[in-house]
Amino acid sequence: MGKKWRWGVILDAGSSGTRLHIYRWLDPAKALKEASYEEVYSLPNIVTKDKWTKKIRPGISTFGDRPEDVGPEHLQELVERALDVIPDDKHADTPIYLMATAGMRLLPPTQQRAVITETCSYFRANTRFFLPNCDTHIQVIPGETEGLYGWIAANYLLGGFDNPEGHDHGKGHHTYGFLDMGGASAQIAFAPNSTVAEEHGNDLKLLRMRSLNGSPREYKVFTSTWLGFGVNQARGRYVKALVDEFLINGEHEVPDPCLPRGLRTNEKGEIVKGTSKELELVGTGEFDECLRRTKPLLGKNMPCNDKPCLLNGQHVPPIDFDVNHFVGVSEYWHTTHGVFSSKNDDAAYDFNTYQKKVVEFCSQRWEDIESNVEARKKDHGKEAQEACFKASWLISVLHEGIGVPRYGIENTPIPGFNVTKGIGEAAKEKGFLSPFQAADEVNDVEISWTLGKMVLYAAGQIPPKDNYRLPVGFGSNTNGVPPDFQHAGSSYNVTSSIGGDEDDWSDTAEDLIDHAKSKSTSGFFFFLLIFMFIAFLLRKRDRRMRLYGKVNKVLRRRRRPGSPRKGGFGISSITNKLFGRGPYHYERVLEEGDVDQFELGDASSDEGDNSDSSGGRSRVGRSSGLATPKLNVGSFDDLKKHAHPTGTGNALDRSGLVVRTESRERLFPQMLNAGRRSRAASPTRLKSPLMSPVTED
C-alpha cells in the first residue's frame, strides 16, 4: 500500500463564492512502477474526497473596495482546511492556486489587482505552499481558459481521453463537448470534427498533455465565453427590460411572467410582504410569455463579423451534433435537477419532458409551491423563486442559442436511457448518445474545471518520452511552442526519488489514521491498536518516532479542549513501551562545559527560476524555519573535512554523526555511548534539513 503522494490546492473564486479543492496523485516515478498496461498509456490518476472541498460565500469580488480584508475575513477558513488536510512535510512541494472567474472579471482592473495582490501576500504569510509566481498562481482567468479546463475535466472523468475506442461517436470522434454556466458567464468548449477543425484551425487551441509513460497527447479544441450570459446577469437584463416597458409613472408594480402566480419580490429577488412603496415584481406564472421574453436576451440579432455566430454575435465553428455530445455542468445541472426533479427521476434530458415539468410547476400559485418546497427542503425556497426564469433561460440558450436538437420533439432518445445517476458507466456503455446531458459528477467526483487544471499540472510532472520534449500546456494552434503558450506550471525531474520503505509506511499510516478518524470512538481505538502494532514491527527507532508523532497528533485532536489527561495504564504508557520515550522527555546529553561549542546554524534553501515551466523552486515557503545545532570545530582541523555546506556527500557527514562521535572520543571517551538513544528520538533532529538528502515529494 506504499504511496508517495503529490498534492495540489486550487481555489475557484466565482461570482457567488469561493470553493476550495484539494487533489492528490502518485509521484510519476512511483505510479509508473506500479502501473498496469492500460494505466501506462493513461493520464495521471487524480484523487479527491468530499471533505477536501469547502465553499464559503459571498464571492471574492465583494472585497474589491476593501482588499485588505480578503485574507482574514474570506480566505482564512479555506486555508485552515488545506493546512489540516495536507501533511506538513508536503506543504513546500504543494502548489496553491486561486483562479477567479466571472465575478472578478466584472470589477475594474485596479480593484482586481488589489484583491489579487492581497491574496498572494496572505498565502505567502500564512502557508508554506509552493507559490513561486503570483501572476500565474493567483489570477483572474479568461473565460476561454475556464472552459478549456472544464473540457479537460469532463473528458478525463468520462473516459474520452484514455478509452477512445469505447467512446467512438462516429467519424473518429471520441471526446465530449463541455458547457458551463454560472451566475455571470457561460462557457463552451469542444473539439470540432476533422473537417471543421481543418477549416477553422486558427480558431482552435492546441492542448498538450502526457501519458504516464511520457508519450504526448495533443488535442485541438475550440473554447469561448459569453460574459453577462450567466443566469444572474441575464436575470438583471431581463428585469431591466420589464421595468422599462411596464413601469408607469406613479406606480411601483411590474408584472413578471417568469415568477409563479402571487409571488411578489423586489429587484434583488427578495420576497415582499405587506404593503410597500418600493418597486415590486408581481408573478403572473405565464411560462410561454416568459420564454418569449428571454429569447431577445440571447443577442441573436447582433452583427456577426465572422460567421457562423451563436450568442451575442460571437463566432463559433459549426457544431456537428452527430459526434459532438455535450456535458452541461453547474446551472445546467441545478436547473434541470433542482425543484423540477424527484429522487427517482434520473432519465436523460429531453426537451419535451423537461418543458412539461416546467410549465406544470410555474403555473401553480406561489402559496402551493412554497408549502410543497418547504416540506421537501427548506433551503429550496430561494431556488423555487428563481426556477422558472432559470429554466426559461436554459432552454433558450441550449436550443435557440447553441442549437442543441430538441430531444423529445426533433428526435426520440433511447427509451429508459438512464445517464445522470451513473453517468460514468453510461458513457462507457452507450457512448453518451444524447447531444446534451446535464451532469454534476462522475463516480462521485465533481466535474469541475479545477480538476482540469490539476490534470494538466500532474501531466507536466511526467518526464517526456524519448525525444518528445515539447512542454505540457496550451496555446495557439501552431507547431512547436507558440508565443502565447501557457505552461502547465509544473516541471519534471528524471532523477526524482521514488522513496523507500519509510515513505511507504508513513503514507500507509496517514491513510490508516484518516480512515480511523472517520469511525466511531471504539472503532478509532481499534484501528489505532492495529496501527501501533504495525509501527512496532518497524524496528528502526526513527521510523517508530515518526509514526508516534502522527498518533500523538491525532490523539490530541480527539481529546476535547480542557479535558484532563488520564493517568495510569493507557495509550500513553503503551506508546512509551512501543516507541520509547516521546518528544516531551528529551534527555540533555551535552557534556558539562560544552554549551559554548555549539551555535545555531543558518537554514539554507535552494533557489531556482520562478518561471512556470522551470524545474526550480522558489525560496518562498521552502525553509522549515528550524535550525540544527552546529558544532564549532575551530580547533579541530582534522574534522573540517566532514563539513559540507551544500548538504551533499556522505549521509553520515550530512547528519553530523561523524562529527559528534569523534568529538566525544576526543573530549570524554567514557561518554562515547551516552545519549545516543535520546538523540535518535529528537524531534528537532528528525526535522533538520541536514538529516537526509532533500528530495521532491
Q: Which residues are the active-site residues?
A: 146
- Contacts of 659 by beta carbon, 8 Å cutoff, 6+ apart: 631, 633, 639, 642, 643, 653
Q: Measuring CA to CA, which residue among 72, 146, 135, 140 is closest to residue 108?
A: 140
Are the C-beta atoms of 137 and 96 separated by less than 8 Å? yes
Q: Please, which residues have CB within 8 angstroms of residue 563's CB and are 6 or more apart in sequence? A: none
Chain position carrying cell 496553491: 96
Which residue, 158, 143, 164, 144, is CA-closest to 217? 164
- DSSP per residue over 222-245, as a string? EEEEEET-SHHHHHHHHHHHHHHH
Taking the C-alpha atoms of residue 31 and residue 421, their distance in angstroms, rounded to an integer, is 30
Look at residue 424 and give its three-state secondary structure: helix
Instruction: Give the SS3 label for residue 474.
Output: strand
Tell me which DSSP letter residue 649 carries. Answer: S
Instruction: Give the three-class secondary structure for 45.
Output: coil
What's 346-377 look like in SS3? Answer: CECCCHHHHHHHHHHHHCCEHHHHHHHHHHHC
Q: Residue 377 contacts by C-beta under 8 Å, 6 or more apart in sequence? A: none
Residue 541 burial (10 A CB sphere; 0-12, 13-18, 19+): middle
Residue in 485, 492, 489 with CA at minimum distance from that of residue 457: 489
Buried b (16+ CB within 10 A) or exposed e, 186-221: bbbbbbbbeebbeebeebbbbbbbbbbebeebebbb
Measured between alpha carbons, how far is 325 from 345 in angstroms, rounded to an integer? 21
Residue 47 is placed in which grid cell?
484523487
